[in-house]
Structure 1
């Protein structure tokens, strides 16, 4: 066999580690054995995979193509081996959930708790950082389900809406905007807007509210955790845009109020995305069905 898994693994590790020596250490082979294996492959293929530039290596066009194959194929092989090992040991598997929704952890907990009870032989793992974004993580077999408010409908993926919510402005209860039924974009001209560390073009308050009106806030500040964000808003350090259900969850702990964004408000949905080929896996299907149940959508009350 000309192309073997070890060749793909070598390519991937050399790219990650930056040198043949470091890659050889990770793969538990000698550098000479690694070099010999790749040299033999180059001879069989009739083309170079690397070009040496001093002490460093640069991938040729053929090498770049093989690296792309390695990045796509190796995660699938690893997942297949893990699943088969689990079957052999009588286990069901692990449901790996990716989060592209910072405030959705509270909702996810309400789904995961009954799910773990109903499926005692399935583990749940949650990831928030992906090499190529959430969609890439699905295609790359890093995750099995993606929680996102902004689905990208691509061939091979299916997105199921699981609940509706409203995106609102959050202000301190003594803030001058707190008395309004809804706010207009220009009313945020002199405000510090606090958001999660997400690209501006993916923030609803920008792309559905401020930018269409040609308005920008006085300052934009990012904070990773919801708890700190709510404390900052309650202390008058800024305003934020969050789901109404999340504000209601916090309103008993911090002095904040939700206000509608614009006269019509901003309606949103949370989706669960999966690979179409996985939709018949019983424990994955069961998670989606459980997420759709009203008991999982306790935050949808207005």
Structure 2
């Protein structure tokens, strides 16, 4: 049995004739008659009695009709749910950022985003810092803010902004008198990183390793607030994206110093599945990321 057979039984039972059923099924009377004969042959049972030019359900027909109503109703619900999901009426954005536990930009983003999509929830995965691409491909994440661009054919990387990586030092540190620091300056320093492997850390793969410089000590700390407290105490330094550190500079206990004369920059992306019919709220959320995280708004004031 196919869905067209179930629709036929439902319409004929409701209208009482093939002629009237034609209006909703958009098929000729002969085509409907052929389908009815087809399903009756398949089931080995007559579904309608023909009484005074009217089609009346048999006992077997009633069984089929009861099932048809349930099945077609579930299909209608599924189609409506998918349409609402695609149009952004209801959904979920599961989000992670690479490397840091900084979400100071999130409250403003959520307020703006929820004005347009009040039924879309945002779920944060703060522990996800490595290989978010795999989690997106596995269906465990919807979006990741990342500086990695792996060109996976199943993923889309939407550029958010380009930001400078700067070394965070305590107020009064000797480096604050320099216009910038170079690789050699790190040789006698304790350097905090977010996590290993060391080759994945921007400071190391772009500045220190090419110059053959090894810091005095390397210490991984994954919580932003904790590492900044360590820096304030004079226990080490860390190179971080400026947009992540800016909110912490107001207490005047931390300062930023450029790394190398040319500066150290990274481009940030929103990584997500390459879906031809992605929910409308996904693209909207990415625009809000540009506005609230990168300060680059392309939504003409609507963000």
**Counterpart contact for 1:98–1:145, Cα < 8 Å:** yes
Say which of 256, 266, 269 aligns to 2:267.
Answer: 269
- Rounded to whole Å, the distance in 1 between the matches of 2:280 and 2:98 is 24
Quote how far apart the aligned CAs of 1:108 are.
3.9
Taking structure 1 as reference, are residues 221 and 204 closer, same or farther at Cα in structure 2, changes over 3 Å only? same
What is the CA–CA distance in structure 2 between the aligned matches of 1:131 and 1:166, rounded to whole Å?
20
1:165 aligns with 2:163: yes
State which of 239, 242, 245 in structure 1 corresponds to 2:243. Answer: 245
Deviation of 1:151 (Å): 2.2
Alignment partner of 1:236 out of 234, 238, 246: 234
C-alpha RMSD over aligned residues: 2.9
Deviation of 1:91 (Å): 5.8
CA contact (8 A) 2:98 2:129 kept: no
Hey, what's the Cα distance between the residues in 1 that align with 2:161 and 2:129?
A: 27
Cα contact 2:99–2:129 (8 A) shared by 1: no
Aligned residues: 217
Cα distance in 1 for residues equivalent to 2:218 and 2:224: 16
Write out per-residue CA displacement over residues 77-99 of structure 1, whole angstroms, 9 at most, x where no aligned residue.
Answer: xxx9xx76986xx9611111132
Task: Please report the TM-score for the alignment, with normalisation by the length of structure 2.
Answer: 0.65
Q: 1:136: how far off?
A: 0.8
Call closer, same or farther: CA 1:254–1:200 in 2, change over 3 Å.
farther
2:207 maps to 209
Instruction: Give 1:132 shift.
Output: 8.4
Alignment counterpart, residue 222 of structure 2, candidates 221, 224, 239: 224
Deviation of the 1:110 alpha carbon: 3.7
Contact 1:247–1:256 (CA under 8 A) maintained in structure 2: no
Decide which of 138, 148, 163 is 1:140's aligned counterpart. 138
Distance in 2 (alpha carbons) for counterparts of 1:112 and 1:124: 8
Rg: which structure is higher?
2
Alignment of 1:1-302 (within 5 A): 92-129=90-127, 133-253=131-251, 255-277=253-275, 280-293=278-291, 295-298=292-295
Question: Runs of 5+ in structure 1 lacking a partner?
Answer: 1-79
CA–CA distance in 1 between the matches of 2:230 and 2:202? 20
Q: 1:150 to 1:127 in 2, by over 3 A?
A: same
TM-score by length of 1: 0.65
Distance 2:277 2:227 in 1: 36
Report Cα offsets for 1:227-250 as digits up to 9, x if no partner: 121111111110111112333321
Range with greater deviation from structure 2 (129-138 or 151-160): 129-138
Name the residue aligned to 2:45. Answer: none
